[in-house]
Amino acid sequence: MTRALVLGGGAGIAAPWEAGLIEGFRRAGTDLGTADLIVGTAWGSFVGACLAAGADLNRAMDDVFAADRAQRGPAGNDLLLDKVLRLLSDRSVPRRTRRQRIGEITRRPEVVARAHRLDLIIDCLPVREWPVRPLRLAAVDADSGDRVVWDRHSGVPLAPAVRASASWPSEFPPTEIDGRRYMDGGMFSATNADLAHGCDRLVVLSPMRHVVPARTLDRELASLGDVDVTVIGPDQITVDLFTLTLSEPNIPESAYEAGLRQAADEAEKINATWED
């Protein structure tokens, strides 16, 4: 039996919400850190890297919270965010072309100027070497619009791979790796669950499940074949947090607590999928 964990992307509260869920499930007797494969997208890549390496995820989140408090201020440009979201949902334009146009947005000076904010968060990553446990991280080439997937055999250092996967285009500039610019893997898919191929059992933590059309994840899961799948999206309390700006006090901490609380409600379902 092969078990996989997919950690989807979302706004800045995605990582603490996922971390809270993971800790809550652990307390209830299910350790998702025993996954045979972990797939990370956007801030799910940060959580996935910690989990795959066996690092102290709670301590890493404390460091992220401290870094967030130190730099708290206005979030990215709302007009640019709206433009990115409109492009993502514009079905009159081919998907790859949409991603290329979003990549053009990342060249704007106000986006480039925010690189240091992402650096402060990535500095909280407690591991710098790829773990032995299989870990796949998704990003998007900001110029070609193609998805890229990195693992420990790709020849790309872990921290830049995590940074690239989390480089949301209206918030942060792309991450340059070997002369190419890479942006958030969520520009291709909020979950990239199709990368969990080869597993028998799968848990998907999907912070954007309430926003992304269900057909997208359904299509990814169908590509995996006969797999026992459990998908967890945010409950209403967590959804409400998404409507708040990250400049408001203690939003990441609140997301973590929401994950802990929701885990108690979902623990039986997760255990049934994960355990023999």
pLDDT per position as a tens digit, 263-276: 999 999 999 999 87
Residues 139/151, Cβ–Cβ less than 8 Å: no
In this prediction, residue 89 has a pLDDT band, given cuts at 50, 70 and 90, of: confident
Averaged pLDDT, 16-38: 97
Architecture of domain 3-274: 3-Layer(aba) Sandwich (3.40)
Compute the mean pLDDT over every residue in the chain, rounded to the nearest whole number: 92
21: confidence class by pLDDT, cuts 50, 70, 90: very high
pLDDT, mean of residues 191-216: 95
Sign (positive or negative) of CA dihedral 131, 263, 230, 13: negative
Q: Is the pLDDT of residue 159 over 70?
A: yes
What is the reported pLDDT for 164? 98
> Which candidate, 71, 64, 85, 77, places its Cα nearest to that of 13?
64
Least confident of 68-77, 204-213, 228-237: 68-77
pLDDT at 212 over 90: no
Residue 68: name the closest of 248, 222, 235, 275 by CA.
248
Q: What's the burial of 66, exposed, middle or buried (CB within 10 Å: 0-12/13-18/19+)?
A: exposed
Alpha carbon separation from 125 to 99, 161, 169 (Å, rounded): 27, 12, 21
Q: First vs last Cα of the chain: how many Å apart? A: 9
Q: pLDDT band at 69, cuts 50/70/90? A: confident
Pairs from 126-132 (Cβ < 8 Å, separation ≥ 24): 126/50, 126/53, 126/55, 126/56, 126/59, 126/60, 126/63, 127/49, 127/50, 127/53, 127/55, 127/158, 128/157, 128/158, 128/159, 129/53, 129/158, 130/158, 131/49, 131/52, 131/53, 131/54
CA angle, corner 140, sides to 150 and 2, nearest 5?
40
With 70 as the cut, is the pLDDT of residue 161 above it?
A: yes
User: Where along the chain do its domains lie?
Assistant: 3-274
Question: Do residues 111 and 80 make contact, with C-beta atoms less than 8 angstroms apart?
Answer: yes
For residues 21, 207, 15 and 74, what is the CA-based torsion angle, rounded to 10 degrees? Answer: -140
Burial of residue 164 (CB within 10 Å: 0-12, 13-18, 19+) is: buried
Q: Are 46 and 13 in contact (CB under 8 A)?
A: no
- From the list 192, 102, 110, the residue with the least C-alpha distance to 144 is 102
